[in-house]
Amino acid sequence: MLTVHKTQQRLLTIEDAERLTPKETLYLFKKHINPNLGKLLNMLGFAQSPPVRARGTRLYLKDGTEILDMSGHLGVMNIGHNHPRVLKARREWAEQEQLEFWKFHPSPYQAVLCNNLAQIFPEDLEVVFFCNSGAEANEGALKMAEKYGGIGRDIIVYTDISFHGKTHATLSVSGSEKHQNKHFKLLPGCVEIPYGDAEALERVIAQNKGRMTKSKVCAFIVEAIRTEGVVIPPEGYFRRVREICDRYDVVLIMDEVYSGFGRTGKMFAFEHHGISPDICTFSKAFGGGKGTFAAYIARQDIFQRAYGRINEAALHSSTYNGYGEEVVSAIEAINILIEERLVEGAAEKGEYFLQRLKEVQQKHSIVQYVNGVGLLLCVRFENVAYKLAKLIPGVPEEMFAKLTTGGIITELYERHHILIQTPPHDTNQLLISPPLVISTEEIDRFIEALDDVLNMNLIEIAKKYIKRYFG
């Protein structure tokens, strides 16, 4: 055990990190990383014992507890934690002392990965740019679309209750008051429309006529299936969107950062709608759960008009794009998805999971809504904040929505050893996105645990959570 306190003046080592107690870890986290996030993680029970190992759908804590991961760690772990084939690929790469930083030579590994991406995307999507996060991929896609559009075409349309990242540009096209925050100055020329309303898109395009006959709108960025609430647009919506974008030469950017690589029972969620985007962004599961990796893929004609001249070859670049170990991880991860039939499995298991969630909804009136596509599912609870506020005086009513769902998450974790999350905008929901390798027995275990927690007195759950908050 280390003695971590304010006066400690030495550099710590990896071995020191492995010896830190949970209390010492939390102290350093709150001091140097984020004090309020540390407090929140502690409230949820996540700071009591750290994971020391992970495999497949399971986390193994320092105290010996085994946790079932129903979050997929924000949708990153589609092929499961520490898939042995990805570990093997990375280990062999390191043992060969391969070059990580491919900037002065064409990389055969990048070439193979781009070929594989072109194979699993529609044939007109074939030019790839690698980057490091979903936000960076979306930024790059927006930049390419604006360059394609040319001078005077700089309006970007996006949808309400959407999320495309937390950088300035991506916040500007995310329909989230929570993340946009009044203190952030957002980019001009970004127009919000309702998700699922194709006619609203056409109105905005038609009302912003530019020189000649083209609209000032250069791009429309949208999620194929809205992760928040797992909202599926009306039948025919995306076919109509595709027609509108084609008519006005507007670049259709589809954000598959969360929904890509089999999550919804298709390799990419736009396949459910029978259309293809002009640019598609992706991240999260792309790195096989071991790399911070992202990319976007575009049509050849869009790339050529945006960056096709030789003096524009490096007009958009990034120091760490296409880093070697991330590339080999992604090559292996895509092959695993296909060879282990994880995409088809997500569709089959997702149907079973949704049916089981509907059974829970029938038993518990607090469950207002369930929905799912493949292994991207959600449970939305009735907002009981006003009821709890009357029974527990002294706590603002607006806190109860968060506290109720937070209490459910904590009970699932501490009573049943199950890890689950809420989406960023609606804290009355549970967002369920387990690794695609999940079994039906593990689905049943989650259903039984959720049923058990919802049978509990929610007021007592809220009280327990409030005590931690103010404790």
Q: Please report whether residue 15 resides in a domain.
A: no
User: Residues 132, 256: one domain?
Assistant: yes
Give the pLDDT confidence score for residue 8 in this predicted structure.
Answer: 60
> Whole domain around residue 398: which residue ranges?
44-79+342-470
Instruction: List the 429-432 sheet strands across, edge first.
Output: 367-373, 376-381, 429-432
Q: Is residue 12 part of a domain?
A: no
Whether 78 contacts 289, CB under 8 Å: yes
339, 364, 386 - which closes a domain: 339
* End residue of a domain, out of 301, 320, 339: 339
> Cα(130)–Cα(139) distance, rounded to whole angstroms?
12
Q: Which residue has the tokens 């790195």?
A: 287
- 289 and 250, same domain (yes or no): yes
Indicate whether 360 and 319 sit together in one domain.
no
CA distances from 155 to 162, 173, 215, 306 (A): 17, 11, 9, 16
Q: Is 1 inside a domain boundary?
A: no
Same domain assignment for residues 423 and 327: no
The answer on 71 and 152 residing in a single domain is no
In this prediction, residue 179 carries a pLDDT of 60
- Residue 154 domain flag: yes
Q: Is residue 11 part of a domain?
A: no
Residues 300 and 409 in one domain: no
CATH number of the domain residue 189 falls in: 3.40.640.10
Tally Cβ neighbours within 10 Å of residue 227. 25
Is residue 161 domain-shared with residue 226, that is, in the same domain? yes
Residue with tokens 């027995």: 441
Mark whether 97 and 224 lie in a shared domain: yes
Give the single-character DSSP code of 150.
Answer: -
Domain final residue pick, 339, 361, 386: 339
Among 359, 350, 387, CA closest to 450: 359
Residue 20 counted as domain residue: no
Q: What pLDDT is stored for residue 7 in this prediction?
A: 44
Q: CATH no. for residue 357?
A: 3.90.1150.10
Predicted local confidence at residue 256, as pLDDT: 98
Structure tokens at 176: 């989230």
Asked whether residue 58 falls in the same domain as residue 173, the answer is: no
Cβ(186)–Cβ(180) under 8 Å? yes
The Cα–Cα gap between 446 and 51 comes to: 20
- Who's near 126: CB < 8 A, 6+ residues apart? 118, 297, 299, 300
Any domain includes 265:
yes
273 and 150 inside one domain: yes
Identity of residue 78: N
Count up the domains in the chain and report the number.
2
Judge if 324 and 188 occupy the same domain: yes
User: Domain for residue 250, yes or no?
Assistant: yes
- 307 and 191: one domain? yes
Strand partners, 299: 125
pLDDT tens series, the chain, 471 aa: 556 555 467 899 999 999 999 899 999 999 999 988 888 888 788 888 889 999 999 999 988 999 999 999 999 999 999 999 999 999 999 999 988 887 888 899 999 999 999 999 999 999 999 999 999 999 999 999 999 999 889 999 999 988 898 888 888 888 866 666 655 778 889 999 999 999 999 999 999 986 666 899 999 999 999 998 899 999 999 999 999 999 999 999 999 999 999 999 999 999 999 999 999 999 999 999 998 999 999 999 999 999 989 888 888 888 888 888 999 999 999 999 999 999 999 999 999 999 999 999 999 999 999 999 999 999 998 876 666 666 666 666 666 666 778 889 999 999 999 999 988 777 789 999 999 999 999 999 999 999 999 999 777 777 777 676 665
3-state secondary structure of 171: helix
